[in-house]
Amino acid sequence: MTGHDHIARDEQARAILRGNDRGGYTVPTAGLYPYQWNWDSAFAAMGFATFDMERARTEIDTLLAGQWSSGMVPHILFHGHDPGYFPGPEIWGRGRGPIRSSGISQPPVAATVVRDIWEADRPGGEAWLRAQFPRLKAWHRWFMEWRTDEHGAIFVTHPWEAGRDNCLDWDEAMAAINPVGVGDYARCDTSHVDPEMRPTKEDYDRYVWLVQRGRRLGWDDAALARDLPFCVSDPTMTLILLRANRDLATLGADLGEDISEVENWTSRLEGGANWLKNPELGMFDAVNLNSGVRTGNLTSASFLCWYGGLDDDWMLGALNTAFDVCRYPVPSQDATSRGFDPKRYWRGPTWAVMNALIARGLKDTNHVAEARRLRDVTRKLIASHGFAEYFDPMSGAPAGGGTFTWTAAVWLAWASPSAGGE
C-alpha cells in the first residue's frame, strides 16, 4: 500500500460498520448472518471505538443485555426474525434469557475489548464500566462452572461454540454422533456462499442434532452436562478466556473490586492452557474428552498461545514455517497437513481477525518483529482483496461473506496504517 491509499480503505471500513449497523447491534454481514453474533459483536465494538466511542459502548451493552440468569452470554441474539437464516429462533427454542437466542456461547473476547474501550476513554466510561464489570464476571464464572475440564482447560459442547465451526479438531468427536431423527431441513448458508466454502451436509446434520438435543433438555446446564455427546477441550476458548480473565482482573482492580476469585480462575486456566500443549507434537491442540484423544492439528487457534500469555519457542518455529508455506498466513489448518483445504471455512483459510489476536499476543510477549510481520501481511491481504469473511492463504482470494464487520474492524483497529503502533 502506497501513498494515502489507506485513507480510502479506512473510510470503506467505517462504511461497512455503519452499513451492518442495525441500531444498537451489528450483523457480521447482510444475508448470510442477519443477527447479532457474540464475538463478532465484540470486534465490531473494537472497530467502532476508533471513530465512535459511544457506539462502541452501545454494541457491548446490547450484547450483554442478552445474558442469561446463569451468566452465559449466547452466541446469537435473535433481534426479530429473518426467515432467510437457519437455524433460527424457532429451532433453538425459547432459551433462558431476556432475548430469544441460541443456547450456547462463543469465545469471550468482550472483556478484552471493554478494557481497550476503558483505557481509551476513562473519563467518559467509569459508570459504563461499573455496569459491565459484574456482567462480564458472571459470564466468566459460567465458563469456569460449566465449561472447565479437570485440567482447567475450557471445553465446548457444540462446534459453533468455539467459533471455528467445522475445523478438523471436531472430526473424531463429530463422527461418534449418529444424527438419528434429525429430520429434513433447508440450509440457507449455501444460497449465499459457494457450498465448497461451507460445512458439508454430514457435518450440518450433526450440528442440528446437537441443537435439537439442547432444546429438548431446555438448555439446562446440569441436564446437558450429564451426558455430553460432543465434549472437546479447545485452545480457542481456553486461551481467549485466559487473556480475557487477565483483562477482567485489571478492570476490577481499576474499580477497586475484589479480584481474588478472578485471579484464582486465571491460575486454573493457565494450568489448562499448558495441558493443551501436545507433549509429542509440540503444538497446542484440542482434546476429545469422550475418547481422551488429542486431535494433533496445528490450527490458527494454536497460535493464540501468546495471546493467552504463554511464550513458546516451538510455536515461533511453526509460525515461521507458515510464512514460508503460505503467501498470506496464518492458515486455519496447517497448510502441509492432509486435511488442509484453502477455501473451506475453518479447514485452511486465513482469517484476519485471528491474525489480529495472534499478533497482539506476539507483541505483548515481546515478539515485536513477528507481530509487525503478521500485521504487514494482513494489511496487504485486506488492501489487495477487500473485507471478506476469510481468504485463501495461498492466493489471497476472498471467500465466505463479503463486506464483513470483523474484517473491517480489525483493519481500523490494527491493520491500517492509520491505526498506529507496531
Burial class (CB in 10 A: 0-12, 13-18, 19+), 69: exposed
Single out the catalytic residue among 21, 205, 389, 392: 389
Q: Show the cell assigned to 395.
A: 492466493
CA atoms of 367 and 154, how far apart (whole Å): 26
Burial class (CB in 10 A: 0-12, 13-18, 19+), 73: buried
Strands (E), 325-420: 390-391, 398-399
- Enclosing H/E stretch for 192: helix 189-192
CA atoms of 100 and 19, how far apart (whole Å): 24
Could you give phi then psi for residue 366, rounded to 5 degrees?
Answer: 70, 25
Single out the catalytic residue among 61, 121, 165, 364: 165
Give the max Cα distance, the chain: 60
What is the chain's alpha carbon radius of gyration, rounded to the nearest angstrom? Answer: 20
Tell me the residue type at 27.
Answer: V
Q: Show the cell assigned to 51.
A: 471513530
Q: Show the cell assigned to 123.
A: 473519563
The question of whether 389 is a catalytic residue gets the answer yes
Angle among Cα 60, 254, 265 to the nearest 5 degrees reads 75
The question of whether 165 is a catalytic residue gets the answer yes
Task: Give the relative orientation of helices 260-275 and 126-146 as an angle to the nearest 10 degrees.
Answer: 50
Contact 342, 391 (CB under 8 A): no
Task: Show Cβ contacts of residue 152 under 8 Å, excluding neighbours closer than 6 positions.
Answer: 268, 269, 270, 271, 272, 273, 275
Tell me the residue type at 49.
Answer: A
Contact 186, 193 (CB under 8 A): no
- Enclosing H/E stretch for 188: none
b/e map 354-385, b = 16+ CB within 10 Å: bbbbbbbbbbebebeebbebbbebbbebbbeb
Which residue bears the cell 480489525? 410
Residues noted as catalytic: 165, 389
